[in-house]
Amino acid sequence: MSHCVEREEEEEEYGAGPSCVSMKSDQSMHNPNDFSDAAVTSDHRSVPSTSSHYQTHIRQDKAEAIWQKHSLEYGDLQKVKDQHKTNMRNKYERLFEGMKLQGNETLLNRIYTQLYIIEGESEGVNEEHEVLQMEKTARTKYSQDTPIYCNDIFKSSPEPGCEEKDQIKTVLTKGIAGIRKTVSVQKFILDWAEGKANQDVDFMFVLPFRELNLIRDHQYSLHRLLLDFHPELQDLDSKIYEECKVVFIFDGLDESRITLMFSDDQKVCDVTETSSVGVLMSNLMKGELLPSALIWITSRPAAANQIPSKYINRLTEIQGFNETQKEEYFRKKISDQHQASRIISHNRRARSLHIVCHIPVFCWISSTVLQKLLKEDLSAEIPQTLTEMYIHFLLIQINMRNQKYEERDPEKLLQSNREVIVKLAEVAFKQLMKGNVMFYEEDLNESSIDVNDASVYSGICTEIFKEESVIHQRKVYSFIHLSVQEVLAAFYVFHYYAMMHTDKLQICDMMDNLHRDAVDKALKSAHIDYHCFS
């Protein structure tokens, strides 16, 4: 007998239990006391009456015992809920821009700038490069769209014809790399944990695909999986999930290496039933497992079509910063307001920089580079193009490591770290060709990088190559942004061919052919990430 059938039979036999949200309101579920006007008889021969009276007392005793039991359970449940909220608040109250180092952390509520999120319709994957998409967004009249606030993504639109019964169960939010999908998730959780929004929700469970990838070949029940990510749930009865209001957040579908299966072949509808991680995720998204749970999935546009549209109730898109929000970010990020004004003015004059600063991560890169240059030399020639900005960004990160050696010559810095940079560029290229933006031990081994030395690479390029400890203390690596990976990948190809041709004329011919080949590859490929590389 399947778990699904067993669950239905249990509900028929025992009835529904009290809800964890309001225990007292469920007392009326039990049979009321008998207050009929019938005469009370002392005739003990009246067996039916005695039996009925006796059974009534039994029901009352059982009801009282159940109520006492659930009262105790409610107290324990509240402790778990409170601890869960505390843990989530502690985990998400700080924002790290770049590496997770103490100097890079900022209170999220202090730096957070509201993003422009709109409700969109599924129209297929946009094959245009993400930066070009951003240029389109920059030209869009924001006033034409009705924005959705992050905390309201599960709330029905107040439009005519949208009835209360239209339950928004599953939301897919797409957005290009660096648009702050993960930061939106972080803010959503923090506002809940601090009691500012969505207080009807009992639990929020975050399951990032970058971490799920590490256990994709393991067998788990949903309850066991949640215990690995949220140990504070260990004293929680597995049956409680169905009685509570729960939100599951699957962050970074584009980073997934898990095969999602939406066929009816493998159904899982019990939180204690063991299956592969991919099957668990698929059944949660389909509503077979915990059908009352709310689901939020984030993804880059290229990967968003992995989930059939029939399982999505709302599609939203993060469009980044509008003009007002860009300026707000720079003024929050840069304490020197005169310097902030100079940087804002410069970005407005440089067309390519102005366009990409709709992407929050570019605002961060821009502020990092321009603050450094303006601080060292007010008359310095500051970057006008994306390429110049990336070169300065790379040099700044290498310089940070070498400051203690008093080495300031950019050429000498590059030469001294040449091997490391080329190795990182090789990782960037090989993984880009595979469509990977997150890397694991086996990926580094492919480029002859010893896992034990990986911290050396992340130390040299502090803000470019990140190393993080995740589930089971496993390591996961990434570049700070997809575009940084693309630039390094392009550098690797250039370096590879340049090493094969020492004659300058040959190099010019080689580069011309290489560029043509790259453009052809981009045009023929459905893979969105080849475009910036070309």
pLDDT > 70: percent of the chain: 64
**CATH number where 513 lies:** 1.10.10
The pLDDT > 90 percentage for the chain reads: 38
- Categorize the per-residue pLDDT at 254 as very low, low, confident or very high, splitting at 50, 70 and 90: very high
Taking the C-alpha atoms of residue 481 and residue 428, their distance in angstroms, rounded to an integer, is 11
Domain end call among 320, 338, 357: 320
192 and 105 in a common domain = yes
* 274 and 195, same domain (yes or no): yes
Q: H helices then E strands: how many in the chain?
A: 20, 13
What is the reported pLDDT for 212?
Answer: 94
In a domain, 436, yes or no: yes
23-32 confidence digits (pLDDT tens): 334 444 444 4
Structure tokens at 194: 């601090």
Say whether both 449 and 380 belong to one domain: no
The SS3 of residue 489 is helix
Residue, of 39 and 328, whose pLDDT is higher: 328
CATH number where 297 lies: 3.40.50.300
Task: Tell me if 68 is assigned to some domain.
Answer: no
Residues 334 and 300 in one domain: no
What is the per-residue pLDDT for 341? 95
Residue 293 sits in the same domain as residue 224: yes
152: domain range? 81-320
Q: What average pLDDT score do residues 498-526 get?
A: 62
Among the residue ranges 2-11, 168-177, 397-406, the one predicted with the least confidence is 2-11
Residue 400 in this model has a pLDDT that exceeds 90: no
What is the three-state SS of 89-116?
A: HHHHCEEECCCCCHHHEEEHHHHCCCCE
Predicted pLDDT at 44: 42
Q: Is the pLDDT of residue 16 over 50?
A: no
Contact 143, 324 (CB under 8 A): no
Residue 399 falls inside a structural domain: no
Q: What is the pTM of this model?
A: 0.77
Q: 257 and 241 share a domain?
A: yes
Check whether residue 208 and residue 139 sit in a common domain. yes
Same domain, 261 and 295: yes
Pairing state between β 246-250 and 94-96 = unpaired
Q: What angle do CA 275, 276, 282 make, to 5 degrees?
A: 95
Report whether pLDDT(75) > 60.
Answer: yes
Q: For strands 170-174 and 294-299, give the pairing.
A: parallel
pLDDT: which is higher, 191 or 149: 191
Residues 225 and 368 in one domain: no
Is position 454 within any domain? Answer: yes
By mean pLDDT, which of 39-43, 103-107, 198-202, 418-422 is the weakest? 39-43
Q: What's the confidence (pLDDT) of residue 268? A: 93
Greatest CA span in the chain, whole angstroms? 118
Radius of gyration of the chain (CA): 29
**Residue tagged 């939180």 (tokens):** 271
**Is position 137 within any domain?**
yes
Query: Is 163 contained in some domain?
Result: yes
Once rounded to an integer, what is the mean pLDDT over residues 86-99?
86
Identify whether residues 217 and 132 lie together within a single domain.
yes
User: In this predicted model, what pLDDT tens digit does every residue of 439-475 receive, in sequence order?
Assistant: 888 888 888 877 666 555 655 555 567 777 667 667 8
**Domain assignment of residue 453, yes or no:** yes
Same domain, 263 and 379: no
The Cα angle at residue 263 between residues 258 and 266, in degrees rounded to 5: 80
**For the segment 295-309, what is each residue's pLDDT rounded down to a tens digit?**
999 999 988 999 999
Q: Are residues 244 and 272 in the same domain?
A: yes
User: What DSSP character marks residue 184?
Assistant: H
**Residue type at 120 in one-letter notation:** G
> Is the model's pLDDT at 73 over the cut of 50?
yes
- State whether residue 250 is helix, strand or coil: strand
Rounded to whole angstroms, the Cα distance separating 387 from 383 reads: 8
What integer best gives the mean pLDDT of the chain? 77
Tell me the two tokens of residue 142.
Answer: 């924001």
DSSP code for 196: S
The CA–CA distances, whole Å, from 214 to 71, 132, 210, 257, 443 equal 39, 33, 7, 9, 13
Is 116 within a domain? yes
Tally of structural domains, the chain: 3
